[in-house]
A and B are shown apart, each in its own frame.
Chain A
Amino acid sequence: GQQLNQSPQSMFIQEGEDVSMNCTSSSIFNTWLWYKQDPGEGPVLLIALYKAGELTSNGRLTAQFGITRKDSFLNISASIPSDVGIYFCAGQLGGGSEKLVFGKGTKLTVNP
């Protein structure tokens, strides 16, 4: 089945630093999504990308849909303590299939 390779697995940064994480796949996806999971909660959608090359921002978050449709990245600028959590990428094949394939997550720790 499809697999997403998400990296890095974990990051330890200082408050104020920028963060970058990415996902790659051997399969082409029609939609890329980025989720954040706070401890003890379910994942929450941060950004959805629908077109190859699309660059979308949501506050301090910026994500891009790779031109090849096989990758995506998420950047967080000027990190703050509440950015702590696990970030998941997810790809959707489309073409009538709603199922999402998830990466294994990037665990972010922000030191004040």
Chain B
Amino acid sequence: NAGVTQTPKFQVLKTGQSMTLQCAQDMNHNSMYWYRQDPGMGLRLIYYSASEGTTDKGEVPNGYNVSRLNKREFSLRLESAAPSQTSVYFCASIPWPNYGYTFGSGTRLTVV
């Protein structure tokens, strides 16, 4: 099925460990986004990529890095995980100039 695929769906990390969250879309969309969702906080933008080869910081980028590997894939890396990064992470993509984001089903990350 066409859409946004995120892996893994669940992950538990120890403080200080690193990991990469993967996101891929097969809709030929130009822009891709990473959000985190915390209870009572809504969705907050971490990083985004308006096109292949470009990335920009969002509202809460500290502690994260991203890579736009190609048009399909946009990964989010935690170099040294902290308990404050326990959250649900969503990847989304959007074609230009359409306005509707398509979201993945999320990665539930717990840092202990």
The residues of A with any CB-CB pair to B shorter than 8 Å are: 1, 6, 9, 31, 33, 40-45, 48, 50, 88, 92, 98-100, 102-105
B15-69 with Cβ < 8 A to chain A = 31, 33, 35, 40-45, 48, 50, 58-59
Interface size on B, residues (CB 8 A): 26
Given A42-B105, A98-B31, A99-B58, also A33-B43 (CB < 8 A): no
What are the 6 tightest A-B residue pairs by CB atom distance, in nearest-first order? Answer: A42-B103, A104-B42, A102-B43, A45-B100, A102-B42, A42-B105
Q: Are A45 and B101 in contact (CB under 8 A)?
A: yes
Closest chain A CB from B91 CB (angstroms): 8
Interface contact A99-B45, CB-CB below 8 Å: yes
Per the bound structure, the CA–CA distance linking A43 and B35 in Å amounts to 11
Question: With A and B bound together, what is the CA distance between A13 and B100 in angstroms?
Answer: 29
Contact of A103 with B90 at beta-carbon distance under 8 Å, contacts A42-B104, A98-B50, A98-B96 already known:
no
Given A98-B94, A98-B96, A99-B58; A43-B42 close (CB under 8 Å): no
Interface residues of B in 70-106 (CB under 8 A from A): 90, 92, 94, 96, 99-106
- Contact check, B105 vs A31: say whether CB atoms are below 8 A apart: no
Q: Are A104 and B40 in contact (CB under 8 A)?
A: yes
Contacts of A42 on B, CB cut-off 8 Å? 4, 90, 92, 103-106
